């Protein structure tokens, strides 16, 4: 037990918690967990993140619940599951975010980001931050320079493979071909102005975060800094593409660089060799992200903040990039498929005052981040005791459904939940236990445009009363097409064993429905 001055005021409180003054939350979008050395990768060089993990707490079984980018941010900021309630949609008035709760507190808040889906018009994911710095240009914001002239030495088609774009007659294969060329063209119009590695998206975001820490924040106040880097999200544009050197992870590749590939199933469109090269370029991007995050972590140390700042590093999801364990047959998130390569995420935390070097096996979810941040700041209260004054409400954490992870890191509890859930709102649900993973399809072959849409068809599916009730006499049937995997023997979900294990499947489906229904009623 230590005594500490409460951040709200001057009253001393008995605390069982380490002395954490600040929080830095680092989101690295699309960072697939098994591309990091600390999660078992033996070829990709990520020494900085590996060292961070080695000295802190690494969560082996962290899962994002509602996918992809936007619902993940909503869950992270509110501590509430999204899967039962909504998908890709703006932050709502009824949502209570970490920054809403921190309003009127001593803790100053900052958001440094280049994640364009958070910046979509009316989406409001920068709500409540005292300081907001958006670094422009990444995917979805990539049209800002589309009317500029492009260096005549750069052509979009030279940065992908001809056969992904054109058929034998030299015609565009489909809408995905045109979209791909436009996406590359827009990126090149930004990329042509870069002069050094410092211009890369991740370098700019890390640099701006460091600038806020060093020069902008009020140094007498504690802080919560949210860094949201869209890298290592595609385009796959690591240094070797521009130095014309072989990619260190696929040095024998003779074709064009593949900055981007179409949002499609890979069969008949993207060869195995091309998928392999995409993964190699992505690996090199991960290495670059590690280098820049390493510089930022070093700066946090140099500024004397390490021993008073909790630092969280995580991602929102991985990335399908090919067949089998690499993507179950798709490139990019063109289908709402909640397989391991997408939903299993890295999560590592440095906690001042707690001895790290621990790997935690218990299931955790992204909804646990918000309660952990507020608990670290000693500001987790169900109903807020702060006097807002002037009749304005001050919000507490009563709506949060996630769990504070500090007791788990302190070893006071072995687990905070027995299983994890994941999926796309109204399209796919998954339950992941120690023994099995089960996937329940609501709408399997929807496209990216269907799920990344506030008017997703998932909305109507979730409204269907039959989803939330049973008829008298009816037995719980496991629907045809659902999938079951043995998580111990087949962690990459390659061998569907549902036909031989109907009883297990039925129990898991029941458990999944019970839990999502329970969340809906909370």
- Footprint on this chain of other proteins (rule: CB under 8 A): 401, 403, 415-419, 465-473, 476, 510-511, 513-515, 517-518, 520-522
In whole angstroms, the minimum distance from the beta carbon of 123 to other proteins comes to 25
Taking only Cα atoms into account, the Rg of the chain, rounded to an integer number of angstroms, comes to 23
In whole angstroms, the minimum distance from the beta carbon of 399 to other proteins comes to 11
For other proteins, the closer CB: 421 or 439: 421
CB 333 within 8 A of CB 71: no
For other proteins, the closer CB: 278 or 462: 462
Nearest-angstrom CA–CA distance, 407 and 512: 26
Q: Report the residue count for the chain.
A: 522
In whole angstroms, the minimum distance from the beta carbon of 470 to other proteins comes to 5
Find tokens 């294969």 and name the residue. Answer: 173
In whole angstroms, the minimum distance from the beta carbon of 511 to other proteins comes to 8
In whole angstroms, the minimum distance from the beta carbon of 402 to other proteins comes to 9
For other proteins, the closer CB: 193 or 463: 463
Buried b (16+ CB within 10 A) or exposed e, 147-174: eeebeeeeebeebbbeebbeeeeeeebe
User: What interhelical angle do 69-78 and 369-376 show, nearest 10?
Assistant: 40
For other proteins, the closer CB: 301 or 510: 510
Nearest-angstrom CA–CA distance, 443 and 472: 26
In sequence order, what are the residues at sequence separation of 6 or more whose Cβ sits closer than 8 angstroms to the Cβ of residue 350? 52, 55, 56, 57, 306, 309, 310, 311, 312, 356
For other proteins, the closer CB: 219 or 510: 510
For other proteins, the closer CB: 4 or 511: 511
What are the start-end ranges of the H helices in 14-134? 47-55, 69-78, 98-102
For other proteins, the closer CB: 245 or 518: 518
Bridge-based pairing state of the strands 347-350 and 57-59 = antiparallel
For other proteins, the closer CB: 387 or 503: 503
In whole angstroms, the minimum distance from the beta carbon of 359 to other proteins comes to 20
Find tokens 């037990």 and name the residue. Answer: 1
How far CA 339 is from CA of 27, 317, 355, in Å, comes to: 21, 10, 33
In whole angstroms, the minimum distance from the beta carbon of 429 to other proteins comes to 13
What are the start-end ranges of the H helices in 264-423? 272-302, 340-343, 369-376, 406-410
In whole angstroms, the minimum distance from the beta carbon of 170 to other proteins comes to 55
């Amino acid at each position: 037990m230590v005594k500490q001055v409460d951040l709200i005021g001057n009253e001393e409180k008995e605390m069982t918690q380490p002395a954490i003054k600040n929080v830095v939350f680092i989101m690295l979008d699309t960072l697939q967990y098994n591309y990091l050395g600390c999660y078992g990768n033996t070829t990709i060089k990520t020494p900085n993140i590996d060292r961070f993990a080695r000295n802190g707490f690494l969560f082996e079984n962290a899962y994002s619940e509602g996918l992809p980018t936007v619902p993940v941010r909503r869950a992270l900021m509110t501590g509430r599951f999204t899967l039962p309630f909504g998908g890709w949609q703006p932050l709502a008035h009824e949502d209570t975010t970490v920054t809403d709760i921190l309003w009127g507190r001593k803790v100053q808040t900052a958001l440094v980001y280049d994640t364009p889906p958070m910046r979509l018009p009316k989406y409001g994911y920068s709500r409540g931050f005292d300081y907001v710095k958006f670094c422009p240009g990444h995917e979805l914001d990539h049209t800002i320079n589309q009317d500029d002239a492009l260096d005549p030495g750069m052509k979009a088609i030279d940065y992908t493979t001809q056969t992904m774009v054109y058929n034998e007659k030299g015609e565009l294969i489909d809408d995905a071909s045109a979209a791909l060329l436009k996406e590359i063209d827009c990126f090149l119009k930004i990329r042509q102005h870069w002069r050094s590695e410092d211009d890369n998206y991740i370098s700019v975001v890390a640099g701006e975060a460091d600038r806020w820490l060093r020069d902008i924040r009020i140094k007498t106040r504690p802080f919560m800094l949210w860094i949201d880097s869209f890298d290592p999200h595609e385009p796959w544009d690591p240094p070797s593409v521009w130095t014309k050197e072989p990619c260190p992870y696929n040095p024998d590749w003779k074709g064009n660089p593949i900055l981007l590939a179409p949002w499609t199933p890979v069969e008949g469109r993207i060869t195995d060799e091309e998928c392999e090269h995409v993964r190699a370029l992505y690996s090199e991007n991960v290495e670059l992200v590690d280098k820049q995050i390493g510089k930022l972590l070093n700066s946090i140390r140099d500024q004397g903040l390490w021993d008073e700042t909790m630092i969280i590093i995580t991602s929102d999801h991985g990335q399908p990039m090919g067949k089998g364990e690499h993507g179950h047959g798709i490139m990019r998130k063109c289908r709402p498929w909640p397989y391991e390569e997408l939903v299993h995420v890295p999560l590592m935390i440095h906690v001042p005052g707690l001895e790290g070097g621990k790997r935690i096996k218990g299931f955790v979810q992204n909804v646990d981040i918000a309660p952990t941040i507020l608990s670290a700041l000693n500001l987790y209260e169900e109903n807020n005791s702060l006097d807002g004054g002037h009749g304005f409400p001050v919000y507490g954490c009563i709506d949060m459904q996630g769990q504070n992870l500090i007791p788990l890191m302190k070893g006071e509890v072995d687990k905070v939940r027995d299983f994890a859930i994941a999926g796309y709102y109204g399209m796919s649900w998954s339950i992941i236990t120690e023994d099995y993973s089960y996937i329940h399809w609501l709408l399997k072959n929807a496209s990216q445009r269907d799920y990344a849409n506030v008017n997703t068809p998932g909305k109507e599916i979730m409204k269907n009363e039959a989803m939330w009730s049973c008829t008298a006499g009816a037995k719980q049937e496991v629907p045809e097409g659902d999938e079951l995997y043995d998580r111990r023997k087949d962690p990459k979900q390659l061998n569907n064993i549902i036909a031989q294990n109907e009883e297990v499947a039925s129990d898991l489906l029941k458990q999944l429905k019970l839990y999502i229904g329970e969340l809906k009623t909370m």
